[in-house]
Amino acid sequence: MIPVREFMPLKRKPLRLLDQVRYVLQAKRYSPRTEDAYTGWIRRFVLFHGKRHPALMGNAEVAQYLSYLAVNRKVAPSTQNQALSAILFLYRYVLDVEIGWIDDVVRATRPKRIPLILTAKEVRHLLSFLSGRPWLMATILYGGGLRVMECCRLRVKDVDLELGQITIRQGKGGKDRITVLPQSVMPHLRRQLEYVRQVWQGDFRDGVSVTLPYALDRKYKNVGHEWGWAYLFPSKRTIVSKKTGAVLRHHIHVSVLQRAVRKASIAAKLPKPATPHTFRHSFATDLLMAGYDIRTVQELMGHARVETTMIYLHVLNIGGLGVKSPADYL
């Protein structure tokens, strides 16, 4: 006779708080970077209050921690807001506790910032100090207004050479959009695709798949081995999945392009501290200077609000702020 205990369900250990947070974040399809940021802030919030469980704390403790970030740590407003978002996510979706209006919070001051831009001449000069893959990625950033991570995550299927366009998948806010593919990079892009095909053929032969979003590998078998899903800028090294043990190839790390642009900026002796994101700002300003409608620029940039795009009008000193200096009348 089989013992009754063999039919009893196994008792699982309850998940730790941060594991619960990761589980809910993944269930709601937050990006891995947001997952790491939120769990980091929640961990620091708990440590700040002597490892007390958040369920035993409330508005007062949250306000105290946020004020500490602004007064003692002197963090930027965006950093303080990210910490607040992480803590609110914890209470609302993990602990099922609604946190009301938080009073007595010292807010980090938000100064008005103007984005750094490069003129077309400066962009051309900076690009001349880049070569190979960094040059191609930087030119795509400037030619299409992509964010750095959006460029790193591009796959073969997202680039349409015939239509001359790039499809951005799961951009900021989880939104898709279409932007411009510069014609000047076509020959270089074809050579890059030939290199990617060689890497893909070797991976296909060795059983190496590419990393996929969400659970596509379970829903569609062997989709990770398809040509269209290969990364346009693959990493030179493979990784081993901690969950499945499968050998995977990820996209290039953002630091590769960041270091290359930094070195090129120093070598070019530019007075402006250019970064890969500067190419995106320069893309928007150059389009507006060329006379394109601000709504068109907003759509290409992927901005949720037109007010975000309008800041480039202030940079150019056109539109409502178009003022001619009185010294020019002398």
Is 107 annotated as catalytic? Answer: no
Is 23 annotated as catalytic? Answer: no
For 65-70, the CB contacts below 8 A with 24+ separation are 66/102, 66/105, 66/106, 67/104, 67/105, 67/106, 69/108, 70/105, 70/106, 70/107, 70/108
Determine which helix (DSSP H) or strand (DSSP E) holds 178, and give its type and residue range: strand 177-180
Q: Can you tell me the distance from the alpha carbon of 286 to that of 145, in angstroms, rounded to the nearest whole number?
A: 11
Is 225 annotated as catalytic? Answer: no
| From 153, 249, 280, 281, the catalytic residue | 280
Is 280 annotated as catalytic? Answer: yes
3-state helix, strand, coil in the chain (%, to 5): 55, 10, 35
| From 133, 157, 169, 172, the catalytic residue | 172
Instruction: Report CA-CA distances (Å) from 204 to 5, 159, 215, 262.
Output: 46, 21, 20, 35
Is 147 annotated as catalytic? Answer: yes
Determine which helix (DSSP H) or strand (DSSP E) holds 52, and give its type and residue range: none
Residue 210 pairs in a beta bridge with 249
Is 277 annotated as catalytic? Answer: yes
Query: Treating both helix axes as pointing N-terminal to C-terminal, what angle do 32-48 and 59-71 enclose, rounded to 10 degrees?
Result: 100
Q: What is the DSSP string of 50-72?
A: TT--GGG--HHHHHHHHHHHHHT
| From 125, 169, 277, 314, the catalytic residue | 277
| From 22, 147, 155, 251, the catalytic residue | 147
Position of tokens 């392009």? 257
What residues are labeled active site? 147, 172, 277, 280, 303, 312
